[in-house]
Amino acid sequence: MSAVAARAAPARRSGFRFGPLWLAVPGLLFLAVFFAWPVAQLLGLSVVDPENGGLSTESYRRIAATDVYLRVLGITFRIAGWTALWSLLIGYPLAYWLARLPDMFRGRMLLFVMVPFWTSYLVKTFAWMIVLGRSGIINSLATGSGLIDQPLPLLHNMFGVMVGMVHAMVPLAVMTMLPVMTGIDRRLVQAAQTLGAAPARAFWLVYFKLSLPGVAAAGLLVFISSLGFFIVPAFLGGRQETMLAQLIITQVQELLNWSFAGALAAMMLAAALVSCWIYDRLFGISTIAGGSAQAGAGRIRDLGLAILGVVGDIAGRAAAVTQRLLGKRICGWLLPGFCWLVIGFLVLPTLLVIPLAFTSSQFLEFPPPGYGIGWFRTYFESPLWIQATIRSFMVAFATALAATAIGGFAALALAHSRTRWSGLIFAFFLAPMIVPRIVIAVGLFYLFARIGLVATDLGLIIGHTVLAIPFTLVTIAAVLKTYDQRLDQAAATLGANRVRTLTGVTIPLVKGGLVAAFLFAFITSFDELTIAIFISGGVKTTLPKQMWDDMILQLNPTLAAVSVVVFVVVTVMLLLAERFRSSSSS
């Protein structure tokens, strides 16, 4: 016994060095088994003949030969493309405005973006149904005041989908662009002006050019996220606006056609990866994680600068004319005015749900004829809702624990490692954010179906942990980045071993970041629907799954009450997370 120990000890010292990257191993294994493997398997299924198990391209041929599928593909790309474009157009001025605010004030204003960002898609979509519906808020106000006599068709068409999609995606666009913009030295624009560039020209030639990596990253993330959307088109669109993810859900849930679902998922994934590749060619993928953009070479760069020069020239003249027409004072209010409008667009629809949750009516009419807490009582007295709620809380709690542990160790590993592997590992940990959720969900469903994890809490927790790991990793990595590593070295010179250093020095100091990561993971799981649709099982559901089922059946005021509960829970968690995060980084 002791002889073995004596022999083992020196061996460990010489052969097996416990390098920091080992800390990332549990996470890597977890993601390999529950993310990479299921996704790869799903893609493999797409080239397998369901009848005899041989190789076949039948599914792809069927897609190519069927009008409906091609149309859905086309519509999906169109919607995703337009969503990206509009989100950038609306988000850019808001991000620009936020970036120019003094730090203190910006933190507070940012909540107007953060809260919509983390608000459940279901709640947001539900809100738009109430606002845009035939007897919705806009139509009832407009007809009531005699402005129009026929309700406008705002829902179940392209308009409804675009409103919902852009509303859902502007926060993501803003939050992606903002760090790039706050990193731009504002004196550069001043310098351009002292060198003779009119303000508008200085903006385009310097500021806009330097913000481009952020713009492209935002466009990329929005486009990829939009590709996998199904909640918004399902409720706000009509038949014409059916998107790829809806098709996949139907194939899996109703037809159990794995091969075909795999082919559709493969196309979505391919589109996402191709976008990433193009982005990487143009800007370098590391800019998403805050690295500096590469300069780009030769012709393309010259062409880009020339285009910006022309745009700047035109913009300069346009600005001069506008300023002459409107006067300096009004021009100064254009940007803040626009930004407050956007903030209203982001925040108001969700807030409108609140009075509806307290309606005394049987219907979702606006304004409510009277107020009461009847619908909250219905919610609290319904075993179905309460069970779903409790399950959501438990799953979210377990997910948050798991994701924080895995993400935390991975962040620690990456913070201490300077090898060429660390970039690759970082990208792998972020991949669940890039691969459309629906692809992950279907892949996991296929895997879980064979190992008996469907309809179990464990299956849900695993799935949600996969999705939450990128958020925890990024949050903790950001805190570790500002953490002074010399403190660890100091502890080591004072005689603390690695474990003691970790528990006695590092963790207490980055506690705020850990709590924030925990809360972000909690929110991610708490309002997750995609995986829940497949894995939560029929009777025992989660809160979002129950909402989804109810919304498909019929809109009712209970949904408003539930939405308010979800909104409040998420917002409170978010505010707590922000508080902890800022306390840790200061």
Partner 1 sequence: MATGAGAGMAVREPNTGKLVIEGKLVIEGLGKRYGATTALEPSSLSVAEGEFLTLLGPSGSGKTTLLQLICGLVEASEGRVVIDGRDQSNMPVHQRDIGLVFQHYALFPHLTVAENIAFPLKMRGRPSAEIAGRVASTLDMVHLGHLAGRFPRELSGGQQQRVALARCFVYQPSIILMDEPLGALDKKLREHMQIEIKRLHRESGATIVYVTHDQEEALAMSDRICLMNHAKIEQLGTPREIYERPRTAFAADFIGISNIFRGSWDGNGALDTPHGRFALPRGAHCQSKDAALVIRPENLHLGERDGNAVSGRVSEIVYAGSETRVIAALGDGSPLVLRLGPDDPVPAIDQAIVAGWARDKAVLVA
Binding site for partner 1 (CB under 8 A): 185, 187-188, 190-199, 201-202, 206, 209-210, 295, 305, 309
Specify whether the CB–CB gap between 464 and 396 falls below 8 A: yes
Nearer to partner 1, 294 or 497 (CB): 294
Nearer to partner 1, 3 or 104 (CB): 104
Minimum distance of partner 1 from residue 586's CB (angstroms): 23
Minimum distance of partner 1 from residue 304's CB (angstroms): 9
Alpha-carbon distances of 462 from 108, 353, 425, 491, rounded to whole Å: 34, 32, 20, 36
Residue 5: how many other CB atoms lie within 10 Å: 8
Nearer to partner 1, 186 or 377 (CB): 186
Nearer to partner 1, 13 or 281 (CB): 281
User: Of 498, 23, 16, nearest to 8 (Cα)?
Assistant: 16
Minimum distance of partner 1 from residue 334's CB (angstroms): 18
Can you give the C-alpha Rg of the chain in angstroms?
26
* Residue 370 to residue 57: CA distance in whole angstroms: 60
Place of tokens 């059916």: 242
Nearer to partner 1, 202 or 252 (CB): 202
Residue 514: how many other CB atoms lie within 10 Å: 23
Nearer to partner 1, 305 or 318 (CB): 305
Nearer to partner 1, 213 or 233 (CB): 213
Minimum distance of partner 1 from residue 214's CB (angstroms): 13
Nearer to partner 1, 188 or 401 (CB): 188
Alpha-carbon distances of 151 from 132, 140, 246, rounded to whole Å: 10, 8, 28
In the chain, how long is the greatest CA-to-CA distance?
94
Nearer to partner 1, 208 or 548 (CB): 208
Specify whether the CB–CB gap between 112 and 343 falls below 8 A: yes
Minimum distance of partner 1 from residue 287's CB (angstroms): 13
Minimum distance of partner 1 from residue 202's CB (angstroms): 7
3-class SS at 252? helix
Minimum distance of partner 1 from residue 331's CB (angstroms): 13
Minimum distance of partner 1 from residue 422's CB (angstroms): 22
> Residue by residue, what is the 3-state secondary structure of 337-353?
HHHHHHHHHHHHHHHHH
User: Of 33, 37, 31, nearest to 409 (Cα)?
Assistant: 31
Minimum distance of partner 1 from residue 210's CB (angstroms): 6
Tallying the residues shown for the chain, one arrives at 586
Alpha-carbon distances of 513 from 108, 212, 219, 483, rounded to whole Å: 19, 29, 28, 11
Nearer to partner 1, 206 or 243 (CB): 206
Minimum distance of partner 1 from residue 58's CB (angstroms): 50
Nearer to partner 1, 189 or 232 (CB): 189
Nearer to partner 1, 309 or 327 (CB): 309
Residue 496: both structure tokens together = 């603390």
Residue 327: both structure tokens together = 């006067």
Neighbour-count burial of 406, counting CB atoms closer than 10 A to its CB (0-12 exposed, 13-18 middle, 19+ buried): buried
Per-residue b/e over 228-258, b at no fewer than 16 CB within 10 Å?
Answer: bbbbbbbbbbeeebbbbbbbbbebbeeeebb
Minimum distance of partner 1 from residue 212's CB (angstroms): 9
Place of tokens 């509009």: 86
* Nearest-10 Cα torsion for 504, 506, 511, 512: 150
- Rounded to the nearest 5 percent, the helix, strand and coil shares of the chain are 80, 0, 20
Residue 11: both structure tokens together = 């061996």
Minimum distance of partner 1 from residue 335's CB (angstroms): 18
